[in-house]
C-alpha cells in the first residue's frame, strides 16, 4: 500500500487516460482531490468524485490535463491560466540530468536517459524509452513500448505509435503521426503520417495546427 505524501492534485478529463494517471499519482502517494469533466452524467471515476465542468475556480492544488488526444490536450491547456502539476510513476527510471516540463505524465516502466528534455503536457507512456539528449517538444505522445534512440528530436504535438523505433539523430516534425511498429531511419516533416519499416509517408501535410 502506497504511503500518502500529503500532496494532492486535480485532474481535467475523466477518460481512460485519467484512470492510468490516477494510478501514477497514487504510486507516489499523491491524492486525486477530484476530476473535472464536461460530461454531466459522470459522477465518479475509479472511486474519485467527478466535479463537473471546470469554470476557472480557484483550487487548493495543481491541475493536470488528463486527456490523451494531443490536440485536445493542447487546446485545453492553452485556455487555462493555472498552475499545472506533473505525474511520474515510481517505477519509471529518470536520469537526474533529464528535464521534465509541467503537465507531463511519465507512465509505468518508462525510461528517460541523461540530458533528455521533455516539454510540457507530454505523455511518455508505459515502457517507452527516451535516450540521451533527446528533445521532446510540448504536447507530444510517446506511446507504449516506443524507443527513441539518442539525440532524437520530436516536434510539438507529434504522436509516436506503440512499439515504434527511431534511430539516433532523427528529427520528427510537428503534429505528425508515426504508426505503431514503424522504424524511422530518416527525418519526418511536419504534419504527415508515416508507417512501416522503414517508415514511409502515406499521408501528406494538412492545414491542421
Give the closest residue to 45 by CA, choosing from 22, 64, 28.
22
Cis before 198 (ω within 30): yes
Contacts of 94 (CB under 8 A, 6+ apart): 88, 100, 106, 112
Scored b (16 or more CB within 10 A) or e, 1-16 reads eeeeeeebbbbbbbbe
Please state, as a whole number, how many other Cβ atoms lie within 10 Å of the Cβ of residue 183.
Answer: 15
User: Hunting for cell 516540463 — which residue is that?
Assistant: 101
- Taking 3-state DSSP, the helix, strand and coil percentages for the chain, each rounded to the nearest 5, stand at 10, 30, 60
Active-site residue flag, 132? yes
Angle formed at CA 103 by CA 72 and CA 163, multiple of 5 degrees? 70
Please state, as a whole number, how many other Cβ atoms lie within 10 Å of the Cβ of residue 189.
Answer: 15
Give the closest residue to 50 by CA, choosing from 36, 40, 61, 60.
36
Annotated catalytic residue: which of 17, 89, 132, 141? 132
Catalytic residues: 132
Amino acid at each position: 500500500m502506497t504511503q500518502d505524501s500529503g500532496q494532492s492534485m486535480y485532474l481535467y478529463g475523466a477518460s481512460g487516460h485519467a484512470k492510468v494517471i490516477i494510478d501514477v499519482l497514487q504510486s507516489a502517494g499523491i491524492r486525486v482531490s477530484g476530476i473535472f469533466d464536461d460530461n454531466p452524467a459522470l459522477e465518479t471515476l475509479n472511486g474519485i468524485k467527478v466535479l463537473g465542468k471546470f469554470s476557472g475556480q480557484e483550487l487548493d492544488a495543481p491541475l493536470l490535463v488528463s486527456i490523451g488526444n494531443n490536440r485536445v490536450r493542447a487546446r485545453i491547456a492553452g485556455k487555462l491560466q493555472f498552475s499545472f502539476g506533473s505525474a511520474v510513476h515510481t517505477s519509471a527510471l529518470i536520469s537526474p540530468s533529464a528535464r521534465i516540463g509541467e503537465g507531463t505524465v511519465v507512465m509505468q516502466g518508462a525510461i528517460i536517459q541523461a540530458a533528455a528534455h521533455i516539454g510540457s503536457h507530454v505523455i511518455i507512456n508505459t515502457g517507452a524509452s527516451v535516450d540521451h539528449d533527446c528533445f521532446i517538444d510540448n504536447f507530444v505522445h510517446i506511446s507504449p513500448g516506443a524507443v527513441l534512440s539518442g539525440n532524437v528530436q520530436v516536434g510539438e504535438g507529434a504522436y509516436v505509435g506503440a512499439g515504434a523505433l527511431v534511430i539516433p539523430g532523427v528529427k520528427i516534425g510537428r503534429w505528425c503521426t508515426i504508426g505503431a511498429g514503424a522504424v524511422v531511419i530518416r527525418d519526418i516533416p511536419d504534419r504527415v503520417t508515416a508507417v512501416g519499416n522503414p517508415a514511409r509517408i502515406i499521408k501528406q501535410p494538412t492545414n491542421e495546427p
